[in-house]
Amino acid sequence: MSTQTHPTTRSDASPNTGPNPKTGTPPKLGSKSDRFATRVFGAAAMSFPTWAYVLFFFIAPVALVVFYSFGYKPDQFTAVATDQLSFDRYPEAMSGAFVTTFFATLRISVLGTILCLLIALPFAYWLAIKVSPARRSLALALVMVPFWTNFLVRTLGWQIMLSPDGFLSNWMQGLGLLDAPLDILYTRTAVQIGVVYNYLPLMILPLFVAIDASGHKLREASYDLGAGKVTTFLKVTLPMAMPGVVSGCLLVFIPLNGDYVTATVLGGASGSMIGQLIANQFNTAQNWALGAAMAMILIIATLAVVGIGFALLWLGRTIAARINSVQLTDGRV
C-alpha cells in the first residue's frame, strides 16, 4: 500500500479527498478507498449527459402522452384537453374496430416471431457451425446487407413480386403452377411474408452470436462423452443458444408489434395494424387522448406478451431440469 505519491491526480479527480464519509475510513487507507470514490463519483458524473437526454427526450415526452391518455377531445378543432381527467378513453379504445385489429396484430406479431425463429435457428446453426471459418465473415456480411438497405424499399420489392400481374404470377401461370393470377397481395398472408422477411436478420444475428459462443469444445466434449448429434444439439447447443433466442424474439416481437409500414405496403386495406390506428388518431382524427390511450394499451399488451413468453421459458426450463435430473438418477441406479 503506497502513501501519497501523486497528489495531482487525486486533487483534480475528485473533491472527495478526505476520509471516506460513509465508512469514515482513516486517511491512511485513503489511497485505495479514495481512488475507488473517484472512480464511482466519476462514473456517476459521466452518466449525467445520458441521464439528462433520456429524461428530457424520452421520459418527459412519454409521460406527457400518458397524461394525455386521461384527457378527452373537447371539440372538433382541439386535439386534446386535460382539464377533466378520467379513464374513459381506455374503454373507448377497447371497443369496435380496435379490438379486431388489436388481436389481428398480436396474431401477426406472435406468428411472425415464431416463424422468424424457426427459419433463423437452423440458419444460424449452419452459419456458426457448418460454414468454414474462412467463408463465415463473408456469409455474415451477406446477412447484414438486407439490413443495410431500407426496409421500406425491400418491402416494395415484395409488393412488386406478389402483385397479381407481376412477373412471379405470370411465371407461375406459365409453368402451370397457378391457373389464376397470384392472389396474395393485400391479404394477411402477404403481410406475414413481408413481416417475417423484414425482421429475419434481427433474429439471425443474436442467434448466431449465441451459438457461436456456445463453443466448439463443449460440443466436442459432448461427442467424446458418447452423446449423439441430437442429444448434443438439445443438451449443449440449444441451452447455450437460449440467450440468443430470447434476445432475438424480443428484437423481432417488440418493433413488429408497433410496425404498420410493412402492413400498409403489403396488406392494403386488409392489413391495418394497431400502429396504424394510433397514427390515425394523431394525424387525421386529431383525437390525441384516444390515440394516447390506444398507445398505452399497445405497450401494456406488448409487455404482457413478453412476460408470458418469459414465464413459458421459465416453465420449460424447470420441466426440462426436472426431466434431466430424473434421467440422471435412473441411469446411475
Partner 1 sequence: MARKNTFARRTPTDIALHVWGIIVFIYLFVPIAVIIAYSFNNGKVLANFQDFGLGAYISGINNDVIISSVVTSLQAALGTAIVATIFGTLGGVALARARRGALWALGLTGLLGLTLVTPEIVDGISFLPWFVTVGVDWGVSPLNNGLVRLIISHAMFSMAIVTFIVRARLAGIDTRLEDAAADLGATPWNRFKDIILPIAAPGIFAGALMSFTVSLDNTILSSFVQQPGYTPWPVYIFSAVRVALRPEVAAISTLMFLLTLLALAFVAVVLRKTGGSSTEIIKTMAP
48 to 107, contacts with partner 1 by CB under 8 A?
49-51, 53-55, 57-62, 64-65, 68, 80
Least Cα distance to 30 among 15, 22, 42, 18 occurs for: 18
Contact pick of 29, 85, 94, 144 for partner 1 (by CB under 8 A) = 144
Spatial separation of the C-alpha atoms in residues 72 and 25, rounded to whole Å: 58
Contact pick of 2, 76, 95, 329 for partner 1 (by CB under 8 A) = 2
Contact pick of 30, 38, 102, 236 for partner 1 (by CB under 8 A) = 38
- In this structure, are residues 80 and 71 in contact, taking their beta carbons and an 8 Å threshold? yes
Task: Answer left, alpha or beta for residue 92, where phi above 0 means left and psi between -120 and 50 means alpha.
Answer: alpha
Question: Bridge partners of 81?
Answer: 72
Candidate segments 85-93, 153-161, 174-182, 311-319, binder of partner 1 by CB under 8 A? 153-161
Q: Which is nearer to partner 1, 52 or 315 (CB)?
A: 52
| Helix/strand/coil for 329 | helix
Spatial separation of the C-alpha atoms in residues 232 and 211, rounded to whole Å: 13
Contact pick of 70, 72, 98, 158 for partner 1 (by CB under 8 A) = 158
Q: Tell me how far the alpha carbon of residue 41 is from its chain's centroid.
A: 33
Contact pick of 300, 303, 311, 319 for partner 1 (by CB under 8 A) = 303
Candidate segments 83-91, 141-149, 173-181, 323-331, binder of partner 1 by CB under 8 A? 141-149
Least Cα distance to 278 among 296, 303, 255 occurs for: 296
Near partner 1 in 116-135, by CB under 8 A: 119, 122-123, 125-127, 129-133
- In this structure, are residues 203 and 197 in contact, taking their beta carbons and an 8 Å threshold? no
Near partner 1 in 189-208, by CB under 8 A: 197, 200-201, 205-206, 208
Contact pick of 16, 82, 92, 147 for partner 1 (by CB under 8 A) = 147
Asked whether position 243 contacts partner 1 by CB under 8 A, the answer is: no
Q: Which residue has the cell 441451452?
A: 239
Site string for partner 1, 267-286 (x = CB under 8 A): --------x--xx--x----
Spatial separation of the C-alpha atoms in residues 70 and 31, rounded to whole Å: 55
